[in-house]
Every structure is written in structure tokens, then in C-alpha cells.
Amino acid sequence: MTHVEPVVIEARQRVIYGDTDQMKVVYYANYFRWFELGRLEYFKARGGDYAAVEARGFALPVASAHCDYKASARYEDVVLVRTWLAELKRASMRFEYEIRREGDGVTLCTGYTLHACVGPTGKPTRLPDELVKFL
Amino acid sequence: MTHVEPVVIEARQRVIYGDTDQMKVVYYANYFRWFELGRLEYFKARGGDYAAVEARGFALPVASAHCDYKASARYEDVVLVRTWLAELKRASMRFEYEIRREGDGVTLCTGYTLHACVGPTGKPTRLPDELVKFL
Amino acid sequence: MTHVEPVVIEARQRVIYGDTDQMKVVYYANYFRWFELGRLEYFKARGGDYAAVEARGFALPVASAHCDYKASARYEDVVLVRTWLAELKRASMRFEYEIRREGDGVTLCTGYTLHACVGPTGKPTRLPDELVKFL
Amino acid sequence: MTHVEPVVIEARQRVIYGDTDQMKVVYYANYFRWFELGRLEYFKARGGDYAAVEARGFALPVASAHCDYKASARYEDVVLVRTWLAELKRASMRFEYEIRREGDGVTLCTGYTLHACVGPTGKPTRLPDELVKFL
């Protein structure tokens, strides 16, 4: 297991009507969509090509997902998704997230996702080197 | 072109918080999810195996989608999705839909989707016989 | 704090195309939508009227949400959402969930949501009696 | 009825996993979410304050929605949503949209939404002046 000095990558997202629910705030499940946007931008920013890794038959399915909600995002807000790699093991990795409202900087939620690495045979496997090297 | 005597297939769906938006009604794009549920249940009810057709490399991507909104579905409503095949051509088909609120029977929307048939090469192609026969 | 003998309420949901992602399995965030369906059906089955409680200005926003993924739901599956109240405190409650695939009974995921009670003033408050009595 | 010289407003959106379905392309209903993003950015770019209009009790619910699909958006694409006001009547307006893939500029879809104006009483009403003036 390697402890990784976290590099925080930021992504921005406008809140649309379709993200809200009848409480006039963003529906709780949608924050997990933004966590995924954070992962995507993390890979891109670090020079990784997740699509290529996937094309070789590897995948990083979510094993666990967690979110602690602190404040509500609202229609027209721009949210700032901050993503970092908190843990990198032989066959798994853990991303952590913090989502803030742009403007007032209020923290809306924090959370994490734990990912297993699955190989072409569909079984858990070591993370491929070309993925690890840019993480 | 063959005109088909419509067989109407019904599907039911509970409206959850996640379907609503801050106007306290179902978000307009979500009705298209219910249209798709209607198609799925149509295939199943008619004895079709869409997954098998897809496994052979065929697909029925949506070429056009349309919805006219009449009244709003709300949280906890059960909606009734009524689906029928309105037109069956050599290489395309058109489904029509009507969604009603169960209970008071109010029509919430009507709409249609036009589907092209795409073959294993990714090109438009004739609808496969095993699909046509059960439609 | 009261420990509650769990009553498990079941809800069923068909998996549509729109629930899947390009890994050909249900997208991870969508399981939280099904958790919410489970809560809704729990309230209904227990005789509760969540809409009435909400109309009086109370709400039960999600404070934390968690899901452990075990196996993948796929297109056309019917999933069985099993929901129970695991903990009931003065001003919060915790629901737990297990989602199984109908047919083979495979457990797809387990998870929980922790809810705070918020009153008409927007502040944390005791759960209203008319909500507690039917839980 | 006034014919409006169209001003085209552009919005960008990254395609995430959660937008795709098992055909490995963006799910058809999600383009309507992007149409809504286009409307939101249209109002903002034109100096309008839709939230304020809504706070006064007016709303612009979607009466009809239509999309013609030309090509598929895929994971990691950035899509460019181009939005313009095609028609402005006393009590309704019609937005048109074109979504392109950034990079190769391929047109992915075109579509429109027709909106009625609803006043504080819930009835169709004239568009409020403060909305019309910035459109």
C-alpha cells in the first residue's frame, strides 16, 4: 500500500432544474454524478486515459460510495467538485471528494468512492501499470 | 409499409422525489424515461426478446422523440404508461405513448418515438424477421 | 433512543436502458434512487403520510448516504428493494436497505441513509409525533 | 407575434458515465437535460433573472419537447449546446437547440421546446414585461 500525497483536481458544474427536486435543492443521488465528474476530470488532469484502460478490458467499478451532506446546492449554483486520490492499493483505490458552492465557498458535501480493479476476465486484479503511473 | 392494428400495453411506475424538480412536478425529460419503460414492457408483453436481438448486433436507436405535456405528475403518483406500435416500416418503427395518472385517470402527456433499425455493421438495415414477427 | 424491531418493506422496480451505463450495468448513483423508492414505499406501507408531514413544514433531508455494491443489476432485471428502519432517535432516523435481483435472489447492494428532521423554521427539530407513531 | 432575430447562446457540458447507457452512447432523454442547460445559460447571457420571475409566481412550463437525433455523444465528449429563441408570442415562447460535439463539430441533435407562460394563479397568462424585455 502506498500513501499518496494528494493532488486536488477541480471541476465545475452548473446546477440545472433537472438536478433539483421538490425540496428546491439538488436531489441527494445527483451528488454522486458529480463525484464521477470529479474522477473523470482527475484522470484527464493527471494525463490518464481511462478510456484506453477500459478498451484493454480493465474497469474500476465502484465497490462503496459514501456522501455526507452539509448544505444544499440550488438551481443556478455553480458547484466546484474537488477530487483527490486518498489511497492506492494493489487492486483498489479510494477517491475523496469535497463539493463547494462557487461564490460563497460553502462546503455542500464530502464523500468518497472505493474502486476495485477488475481485469478482462471479470475478476479482481492488480491495477494496470499504465494506470498507476499517472495516478 | 404495414398499418398495424394497435395493441396497447400498460406499465405502471411510482413517482419518486428524484423524478420531481423544484416546481414540485415531474421534470420534463423524465417522461422520456417512462416512454422507454413502455417500449420495454411492450416488447416483453408481445413475447419479444429485445436483449437477444441486441445480442445479434441489431439496435433500434431513437431517431426522433416528441412529447406534448398536458398535466403534471407529482410525487407519490402512480403513472400508467400506455404504449402501442403506430407504424412499422421496412427499416423503422414508430411507437406512440399516452401517460395517465392512475386514480383520477388524467392524461399527463402524449408522445412518440421514431426508431431506425441499425445492423451489426452500424448501418441502417431491415428490421430482423424475429423482431417483426412478434411486433 | 429507541431500538425498533425492523419491519422490512419491499418494493419492485424494472431496470430500464436509462438506468444503465456503458459498462452494461446500472450506474452506481441510481441505486440511491431505489433507496428513496424504498423509503417512500416504507412510509406508505406503514400507514404514514409523508406528504402531509411535509405540508406542515417538516422535512427529513438526507444527512449521510452509503452504498456497498456486491453485484450488478442489468437491463430488464426486476430489482427488489428491501427497506427497514434501523434506528429512530429524537431528531434523526436511519434507514437500511438491501437490493436483490428478483429471480435468482442475488444481493446487489446494501446501504443506508441517515435523516435529520428539520422543522418549519429550517432548524433541526424533534421528529413530529404523527410521524413517529406510524414508524 | 414578434419575429425575433436569433441570438445564439452557447453552453458546454462534459459527458460523464452517468449520461451513457449500455449502447455506449448518451441516453436519449439526457439531451433534454442539455436543452434545459441551454435555456438557463440563454437567460443568464441575455441578462435575465429567471429565478426572480419565478419568485413572483410566474413559470414557463414546457408544453412540447422535440428532439431529432443525428449522431451519438459519447463518454468524455464535450458537447456544445447552442440555444436561441425562435418565436416569442403573447403567452408562449419557443426555443430551438442544436447540440454539437466539440472538437469535430459534428451535429449530434437538433430540437425545440415550446413554453407556455403561467401566472401566479396557475393559469396561462401574458409573458411578464420584465421577462420579455431582455429576451
CATH code (residue D17): 3.10.129.10
76-135 in chain C: CB under 8 A from chain D: none
Please state, rounded to an integer, the average pLDDT across all residues of chain C. 92
Residue-wise pLDDT for B56-113, tens only, equals 888 999 999 999 999 999 999 999 999 999 999 999 999 999 999 999 999 999 999 9
- Whether B84 is covered by a domain: the verdict is yes
Q: How far is CA A103 from CA A76, A119, C51, in A?
A: 12, 42, 34
The set of cell numbers assigned to B9 is 400495453
Q: Is residue C3 part of a domain?
A: no
Q: Is 80 exceeded by the pLDDT of residue A129?
A: yes
Instruction: Answer whether residue B3 shows pLDDT above 70.
Output: no
Residue D132 banded pLDDT, cuts 50, 70, 90: confident
Model confidence pLDDT, tens digit, residues A73-123:
999 999 999 999 999 999 999 999 999 999 999 999 999 999 999 998 888
Predicted pLDDT of residue B116 = 95
D50 pLDDT exceeds 80? no
pTM reported for the whole predicted model = 0.95
Angle at C47 between CA C42 and CA C53, to 5 degrees: 85
* pLDDT tens, position by position, D84-108: 999 999 999 999 999 999 999 999 9
Subunits with 3+ C-beta pairs closer than 8 A to B: A, C, D
Binding partners of A (≥3 Cβ pairs within 8 A): B, C, D
Residue B52 vs residue A66, higher pLDDT: A66
- The pLDDT, as a whole number, for residue D47 is 82
Does residue B113 sit within a domain? yes
Beta bridge partners of A111: A67, A97
Task: Tell whether D31 is covered by a domain.
Answer: yes
Residue span of the structural domain in which C117 resides: 9-132
pLDDT band (50, 70, 90) for residue B121: confident
Q: Which of D15, D16, D27 to mutate to test the interface with C (most CBs of C within 10 A)?
A: D27
**Among the ranges given (A1-5, A52-56, C54-58, D25-29), the one the predictor scored with the smallest mean pLDDT:** A1-5
- Nearest CB partner across the interface for D75, out of C17, C22, C25: C22
Residue A4 has pLDDT above 70, yes or no: no
Cβ-based burial of A89 (10 A; exposed 0-12, middle 13-18, buried ≥19): middle
- Cα–Cα nearest to C64, from A63, A36, A26, A70: A70
Number of domains in chain A: 1
Please compute, for residue A83, the number of CA atoms within 13 A of its CA located in the half-sphere on the CB side: 28
Quote the ipTM score: 0.93
Higher pLDDT, C122 or D22: D22
pLDDT given for residue D109 in this prediction: 98
Residues 6+ away with beta carbon under 8 Å from A25: A72, A73, A74, B22, C61
For the record, the C-alpha cell of B34 comes out as 417512462
Q: Above 60 in pLDDT, residue D122? A: yes
Chain B hits for A24, CB-CB cut-off 8 Å, are: 22
- Does A61 lie at the interface with C, CB-CB under 8 angstroms? yes
- Residue C70 distance to chain B (closest CA, Å): 23
pLDDT at residue C84, rounded to an integer:
97
Label the pairing between strands A107-116 and D9-14.
unpaired
Q: Is D103 helix (H, G, I), strand (E, B) or coil?
A: coil
The model's pLDDT over C56-88, given as tens digits with 9 standing for 90+, comes to 888 999 999 999 999 999 999 999 999 999 999
Whether A109 maps to a domain, the answer reads yes
A2 within some domain: no
Yes or no, beta carbons of B18 and C33 under 8 Å apart: yes
Tell me whether residue B111 is in a domain. yes
pLDDT of residue B76: 95
Question: What pLDDT is stored for residue A50 in this prediction?
Answer: 77
The pair phi, psi for residue D114, each rounded to 5°, is -105, 130
Q: Do C36 and B17 touch (CB under 8 A)?
A: yes
pLDDT value at residue A3: 58
> Which of B30, B59, B65 comes nearest D67 by C-beta?
B65
The answer to whether residue A49 is domain-embedded is: yes
